[in-house]
Structure 1
Amino acid sequence: MARLVMFAILAVVILASAVFCVSTKRIMRAATGLLFVLFGVAGLYFLLDYTFLGAAQISIYAGGITMMYIFAIQLVSKRTLQGLSERWLGKRTFLAAFIALVGVATVILVLLKNQFINILTGNENALANEITMDIVGKTLMSADKYGYVLPFEFISVFLLACIIGGLVILNKNKKEESK
């Protein structure tokens, strides 16, 4: 029962933050809403006892990616952001509704195809093919043929290069503005 209550609280936090993120007109508030969404998803991982995925969610997405978004927002000048406004026209609204319906239909189709209902009702045969977190962790952190340590290292070097490039661009722009 406690897990259900925690799930409900996390679901409300995630949904409220997501709605706030897409409905606010201030970009820093949207980034903060995204941060709360990512923390809520990490909470769901911890609730499912997937501690590795929860820790990865916090460190990679909530920490790294959100900081990169905020860094990119700070690099963009206020003059660039000032004339940006988007209006919803009739065609766009119908197109957005159609895309949303296609997305919902896809999710329902995937849930039915993977027999998600059997898992919820407690059918033991559906859980027999579940991969444990030990296998996921060893696969992600191994340097073997199908390990993912090397791609993680390449991504970290790439993100570091992006941060350095952003600092160089910022320094160049500040020198031009000061002249």
Structure 2
Amino acid sequence: MEASVVVFYILSAFILVTGALAVTSRKIFRSAIWLLFCLTGIAGLYFWLDMQFIAAVQIVVYVGGIVVLIIFSIFLTQQSGKELPPPIRSSAVFSALAVCAGFLLTCILLGQYGRFRVPEPRYDYGGPDMSVSAIGTQLLSTTEHGYVLPFEVVSILLLAAMIGCIVLAIKPKSDEK
């Protein structure tokens, strides 16, 4: 087994374990920290795939933006140290069955249609310019091959995260008698 395959399996296992811990943890702050590790692992996977710009965007937008906002909103709530309620068993069984069915369907479709050949990277061809400045220019371009719409969607995502933090930070009114 090649070293790159071992690195891929290690990164994948790290992402899966931390993602599962983020979902199953009973403490909300610990869930946010596990989410931070999961998203950092995904950025590591992008670095491993030699996509430095996408990895940097992953770190800046999700790890640096979304998770930090989630952690700040947790600290602003009055119930940040309390445990989450236990999951309802019937929905947990249904969720497990749905995940198993989705996994089985994905395996069948990948076995049927998937071709997993990774081409060797070629840096000496006359392909597109992959420098960060060229990517930034294309991100803000309004031409046919510009990406200004996804750039704006990311800004709306950050705005929605900030609004969610504000909503979570609002203290609930106590019942006055």
Q: Structure 1 length normalisation: TM-score?
A: 0.68
Report the CA distance between 1:133 and its aligned residue. Answer: 8.4
Cα deviation, 1:29-73, whole Å, max 9, x if unaligned, reads: 111111111111111111111112111111111111111221332
Residue 35 of structure 1 aligns to a residue whose secondary structure is helix
Residue 85 of structure 1 aligns to a residue whose secondary structure is coil
Would you say 1:86 and 2:86 are equivalent positions?
yes
- 2:97, 2:88 → 1: CA distance? 15
- 2:70, 2:158 → 1: CA distance? 12
Count matched residues. 164
Larger displacement relative to structure 2 (50-59 or 143-152): 143-152
* Structure 2 partner of 1:107: 106
Report the CA distance between 1:168 and its aligned residue. Answer: 9.3
- 1:114, 1:160 → 2: CA distance? 38
Seen in structure 2, the aligned counterparts of structure 1 residues 37 and 133 have a Cα distance that, compared at 3 Å, is farther
| 1:24–1:30 contact (8 Å) kept in structure 2 | yes
Runs of 5+ unmatched residues, structure 2: 121-126
Seen in structure 2, the aligned counterparts of structure 1 residues 132 and 45 have a Cα distance that, compared at 3 Å, is farther
| 2:19–2:38 contact (8 Å) kept in structure 1 | yes
Seen in structure 2, the aligned counterparts of structure 1 residues 105 and 5 have a Cα distance that, compared at 3 Å, is closer
- 2:54, 2:103 → 1: CA distance? 25
* Structure 2 partner of 1:59: 60
Would you say 1:159 and 2:162 are equivalent positions?
no
- 1:57, 1:63 → 2: CA distance? 8
| 1:50–1:133 contact (8 Å) kept in structure 2 | no
Q: What letter matches 1:149 in structure 2?
A: V
Would you say 1:95 and 2:81 are equivalent positions?
no
* Structure 2 partner of 1:30: 31
Runs of 5+ unmatched residues, structure 1: 125-130
- 1:109, 1:57 → 2: CA distance? 30
* Structure 2 partner of 1:127: none
Would you say 1:76 and 2:62 are equivalent positions?
no
Seen in structure 2, the aligned counterparts of structure 1 residues 47 and 24 have a Cα distance that, compared at 3 Å, is same
Seen in structure 2, the aligned counterparts of structure 1 residues 27 and 132 have a Cα distance that, compared at 3 Å, is farther
- 2:109, 2:44 → 1: CA distance? 24
